[in-house]
Amino acid sequence: MNTFGRIYSFTTFGESHGPAIGGVIDGMPSGLKINLDRVQAELDRRRPGQSALTTARDEKDRVEILSGLFEGITTGTSIGFIVRNADQHSRDYEEMRTIYRPSHADYTYDMKYGLRDHRGGGRSSARENISRVVAGAFARQALETMGVSVYAYTSQVGDIALDKDYTQYDPQLIETNPVRCPDPATAEHMAELIKQVKADGDTIGGVITCVAKGVPAGWGEPIYGKLNARLADAMLSINAVKGFEIGMGFDGVSHRGSEMNDAFVPGGKGITTLTNHSGGIQGGISNGEDIYFRVAFKPVATLLKEVVTVDRDGHGTLLQARGRHDPCVLPRAVPVVEAMTCATLLDAALLARTTRL
């Protein structure tokens, strides 16, 4: 399935080495003046080649909007967009036609479909994220009119982790370093680790923390469309993500209810909570506090050293990946996490309008 969302939804297409990546955004409300430069700027944050920490591929990734805007304003009709592929070195991938890279999607695609476009990962390439970032960038501009802002940052690379919670970091500092970590000193250590891993032809995982501020109480469906479940679905749909936790998450399980409960207190604009261990969602519905969650990324599967694997016929073989690959996806995954969060929240915002008579 290539569609995400119920009302604000998007449907994507595109293989890494095909003519283009793109998609269709549906359910965008009418009447919003769109800043297309900001949409492009989000894509630029995801683009490879931004720093020495990421792949050297030079992808321009210029988005072309094909519909849905009239004189710069959303019309409520679907928004088609494409990003042409370029700078492809398809020959780098010829071996992968018959050889399965370990922990990649090569084997499972073959088992599911009986064939696959092996060039550059084909449909399973992280270039698919381009479409998510575009859909998220539109959603973000709609959310801003509702007072909602979303940011994410790299909170862990390998075993180097930020040790304080999100409230202790200044989001303004995230973009000051190529790791996208709001603590510059830690960012430097992370950068060192990534460079070292890269020098070894290896890869490393990490954690991204995401925060949504300004979400009013009442968004999210209470049973199967719980807002936390939608966010988990959104995050686990991103390549390499292996875990999701909201609020206190896994750490909360060892505490008692009397420690974990968020006491209600009278607040400025109504009722608020003293603490926010819940991460802004209770019973699947936002409670007006900050929403925050953490997303675990495994290390990238494609190593730049020779690995033992098998081919389609099950024969053992050696594989030396050539292409150009990130030693660590975290820095470039930050805008993807933000994008999926924005799309999920705008969908919830629109659904929330249907709730009361």
Binding residues for a second copy restricted to 151-210, rule: CB under 8 A: 156, 158-159, 197, 200, 202-207
Name the DSSP letter for residue 136: H
Helix (H), strand (E) at residue 257: helix 257-260
Residue 180 CA, distance from chain mean position: 14
Judged by CB under 8 A, the number of residues near a second copy is 155
Check residue 286 for interaction with a second copy (CB under 8 A).
yes
**128 and 18 Cβ atoms separated by less than 8 Å:** no
Report how far residue 314's alpha carbon sits from residue 312's, in angstroms, rounded to the nearest whole number: 5
Window 216-255: contact mask with a second copy (x via CB under 8 A) = -xxxxxxxxxx-xxxxxxxxxx-x-xxxxxxxxxx-xxxx
CB of 306 to a second copy, least distance (A): 11
Structural element, H or E, at residue 319: strand 316-319
Confirm if 119 and 88 have CB atoms less than 8 A apart: yes
Scanning residues 5 to 24, which ones bind a second copy (CB under 8 A)? 7, 9, 11-15, 18-24
Q: Which is nearer to a second copy, 51 or 108 (CB)?
A: 108
Task: Tell me how far, at minimum, the Cβ of 18 lies from a second copy, in Å.
Answer: 5
CB 142, min distance to a second copy, A: 6
Site string for a second copy, 296-335 (x = CB under 8 A): xxxxxxxx-x-xxxx---xxx-------------------
Token pair listed for 36: 């297309």
| Residue 100 within binding range of a second copy, rule CB under 8 A | yes
Question: Which of the ranges 44-52, 95-103, 166-174, 182-190 carries the binding residues for a second copy, by CB under 8 A?
Answer: 95-103
Q: Which of residues 58-77 bind a second copy (CB under 8 A)?
A: 64-68, 70, 73-77
Helix (H, G, I), strand (E, B), or coil: what is residue 34?
Answer: coil
Cβ 335 to a second copy shortest distance, Å: 18
* Interior/surface letters 268-285, b for 16+ CB within 10 angstroms, e for the rest: eeeebbeebebbbbbebb
Cβ 279 vs Cβ 334: under 8 Å: no
Identity of the residue numbered 161:
A
